[in-house]
Amino acid sequence: MTVGANATKDLETLEIDLLLEGIFQRYGFDFRDYARASLRRRVWKRVHAEGLTKVSALIEKVLHEPSCMERFLLDLSINVTAMFRDPTFFLALRRKVVPLLRTYPFVRIWDAGCSSGEEVYSLAIMLHEEGILGKCRIYATDMNEVVLEHARGGIFPLSTMQENTSNYLKSGGTGSFSEYYSARYDSAIFRPELRENIIFAQHNLATDGSFNEFNLVICRNVLIYFNNELQAKVQKLFHQSLEMFGLLGLGRKENLKYDEIAKQYTTIDEQERIYRRVR
């Protein structure tokens, strides 16, 4: 690599650092410890989408135009999801976690990084079929208010229902998936009673702290976008948020890889990354 190329790369790194610091100071969103390769792609996607050519130009626009920040936040949010995504995870919840939750008079669940809501509605359906939704309170959080508003509505594309139905059946669903929604034009509108025990709220895993004590915390396919330091910080947050013998569910590519955290848990299901706090 030439000296000029090195200088260009260093300048880009500096500009991205300044962009992230400016966003943190101006809006309170902290992306400074997100994995850089993924972050860099999203930054340049927004640069080009705004009709710009430099990261420095995006800095000015983001800081002075809140609407640009809202668009950029959608780029930075990880919103790829489906109902009953990774069906074997939900099957493991049914078989190994629900029996433990039945022993509690009241169950508090935190779905962290709930995105547009597919996962939390899947969770509500499963808990309903297992007969314990009525004694559960589910806190569904995400840093992005736009996707949270979508989740609150419980309306999803009708075109996704075939895939969702297939996932539901593979996850051990005991009813008819179509009973949980009504079709209207191109949309599937899910039954309002499914969200009666769900509280949707904004929460940023990078900057916000614990807000309750939970029996179950689910955070899947979010940590993979954080660097090692932020992963460790968030895993400590989850530990602080779990009551003794509470359960933690992570994504397939995530695990408790830090010794000081891992020794606080025992494994319920290694393949599905489900753990139980014991210390």
Average pLDDT for 128-136:
98
For residue 247, which of 214, 208, 212 has the smallest C-alpha distance? Answer: 214
- Residue 107 shares a structural domain with residue 243: yes
User: Quick one: 48 and 165 in the same domain?
Assistant: no
Does residue 211 lie within any of the structural domains? yes
In a domain, 30, yes or no: yes
Answer yes or no: is pLDDT of 2 > 60: no
pLDDT number for residue 76: 81
pLDDT in tens, 140-154: 999 988 889 999 999
Last residue in a domain, options 33, 49, 76: 76
Per-residue pLDDT tens over the stretch 70-129: 899 888 876 667 899 999 999 999 999 999 999 999 999 999 999 999 999 999 999 999
Has residue 132 got a pLDDT over 90? yes
Domain range for 53: 3-76
Whether residue 241 has pLDDT greater than 80: yes
Share of the chain above pLDDT 70, in %: 96
Structural domain total, the chain: 2
Q: In the predicted model, is pLDDT for residue 3 greater than 60?
A: no
> What does the pLDDT read at residue 29?
86
Output the pLDDT for position 28. 86
Mean pLDDT confidence for 266-272? 96
Across the range 181-199, mean pLDDT stands at 96
Question: Do 273 and 158 reside in the same domain of the chain?
Answer: yes
Same domain, 60 and 177: no
> How confident is the model over 30-69, as pLDDT tens digits?
889 888 888 999 999 999 999 999 999 999 999 999 999 9
- How far apart, in whole angstroms, are the C-alpha atoms of residue 152 and residue 128? 18
Q: Are residues 141 and 209 in the same domain?
A: yes
Q: What is the pLDDT of residue 257?
A: 72
| Closest residue by Cα to residue 205 from 232, 242, 183 | 232
CATH code where residue 110 lies: 3.40.50.150
Q: Which amino acid appears at position 170 of this protein?
A: K
